[in-house]
Amino acid sequence: DVKVTQSSRYLVKRTGEKVFLECVQDMDHENMFWYRQDPGLGLRLIYFSYDVKMKEKGDIPEGYSVSREKKERFSLILESASTNQTSMYLCASSSGANVLTFGAGSRLTVL
């Protein structure tokens, strides 16, 4: 089975801190995605990547950046965390068939 592993299940950070959320997949998938999930708003796409060093903005990229230096790893970076970035962050990967496999999620609280 494809596994998508997110490095931290729960994080608590302070306003202004730099935050790294790491995601690793083990099935050689080309595409990787970062979503955030908030009550009443569903899942919203932040960024995605279809190849190493490639990235595309999703629906809500403001305040975030991403890095994909290796095929298996896709990092989400919050340069200066703010309280409105408190959320559940979900990483996913897919092959060309566009069937997504998600990680378990990282719940970030920004104080």
Q: List interacting residues with other proteins (CB under 8 A).
A: 4, 31, 35, 42-43, 45, 48, 50, 56, 58-59, 90, 92, 98-105
Question: Closest CB to other proteins among 73 and 107?
Answer: 107
User: For residue 27, how far is the Cα from the chain centroid?
Assistant: 17
**Non-local CB neighbours of 39 within 8 Å, separated by 6+ positions:** none
Q: How far is the CB of 78 from other proteins (least distance, A)?
A: 19
Q: How far is the CB of 105 from other proteins (least distance, A)?
A: 5
The sign of the CA dihedral 68, 56, 86, 37 is: negative
Question: Closest CB to other proteins among 7 and 17?
Answer: 7
